A and B are shown apart, each in its own frame.
Chain A
Amino acid sequence: MAYSEKLIDHFEHPRNVGALDKNDPSVGTGLVGAPACGDVMKLQIHVGPDGVIKDAKFKTFGCGSAIASSSLVTEWVKGKSLDEAASIRNTQIAQHLALPPVKIHCSVLAEDAIKAAVADYRSKQNQEKSAAE
């Protein structure tokens, strides 16, 4: 079975690999795992004061489809609002990369990672707010 060109491109040239400062209040970090494969995925977003995602980074230890899924998500979320980013569905990722059925769970992992990153950013902001009050 052949993998799609888009998938291979993201796997061979992953976008936005790296890390942001997880202690920065304007950074949200999502750390998720797929115990079935022993995969672990970290996805981070840097959010501007206007609530728009300025930058995104990821680090994934897992199969090619997991790396491609997280790479794609970091590209997609830049310039998006938090609500837009959190509404990304795994089916969109799977469709874009033409993931084979056995690799659908990799796109689920990427969807969960961006949701976790947004949730982390929001809980940090709430803490800041309650600390300021």
Chain B
Amino acid sequence: MDEVRQYESAAAARAVVACWSCRGPIGPSALFCATCRAVQPPGALDHFARLGFPPAFAVDEAEIDRHYFAAQRLLHPDRFATRTARERAISQSQAVSLNEAYETLKDPLMRANYLLKLKGIDVNPDGCNTIRDPTLLMEQMEQREALQAAETAEDVARLARGAKDQLEACLKRVAAAFVADDLAVAESETTRLKYLVKLVEEARLRRAKLIRVND
């Protein structure tokens, strides 16, 4: 029992850091010191923890917005106009860290990639890996060919709808895989998600091009 208590108090001690200004205790994700109100530098937190979420794929996007905009209001440069240069710099680095966390969590593809990375799977080491999954690649090659061959805005719109439906279904599989903690499926479905995001984007561009030509 003593060991457990010792471990817990050690973990609590690690989580609490000292305020740079008054040396008072602050939590790892605190923006301000509760004692002296000084703004605190961004701690070494993952993007989920920074916005107050557990590391899970399913997130309430409205909640992400709420946390993020509340924090950014508190860090607005106007609030630091009369503060010291050091506090202005610290508030800026907090704002940058929050932006990064927000951009990563709001986008499902980035969120999935990031969560895999937290779990020790780097889907894209050095931005240079190649895949040979014949089912996925064949399916994507055929759809990109169909898109290229489509001559009318209606055909492209139909293909775009199909792509969006596949993307929605894929998102559900990614979410289910993370819930089941099946990382192999989470990884392969995240790769498929990347291709489907690309397909939807290509369909959008192709449609815009056809509409421009016909105008």
Contact = CB atoms under 8 A, between A and B. Distances in A.
Are these two chains actual partners, yes or no? yes
B191 A35 contact: yes
B197 A40 contact: no
A112 B137 CA distance: 14
A29 B129 CA distance: 20
A34 B130 contact: yes
A40 B141 contact: yes
Nearest to A31: B137
Interface string B122-160: 011001111111101110110011001000000000000
Interface of B: 123-124, 127-134, 136-138, 140-141, 144-145, 148, 191, 194-195, 197-199, 202
Contacts of A38: 194-195, 197-199
B123 A35 contact: yes
Interface residues of A, number: 18
A33 B188 CA distance: 13
Contacts of B197: 38
A61 B142 CA distance: 11
A42 B145 CA distance: 12
A31 B198 contact: no
Interface stretch (A5-13, A74-82, A103-111, A124-132): A103-111
Contacts of A34: 129-131
A61 B141 contact: yes
A35 B141 contact: no
Contacts of B134: 31
Contacts of A59: 141, 145
Between A31, A33, A109, the greatest number of chain B beta carbons within 10 A of the residue's beta carbon is seen for A33
Given A61-B141, A61-B144, A32 B195 contact: no
A119 to B, nearest CB: 9
A2 interface: no
Between A37, A59, A61, the greatest number of chain B beta carbons within 10 A of the residue's beta carbon is seen for A61
A128 B157 CA distance: 44
A33 to B, nearest CB: 5
A36 B137 CA distance: 14
A31 B131 CA distance: 9
Top 4 nearest A-B pairs (CB, nearest first) are A38-B198, A61-B144, A105-B128, A112-B130
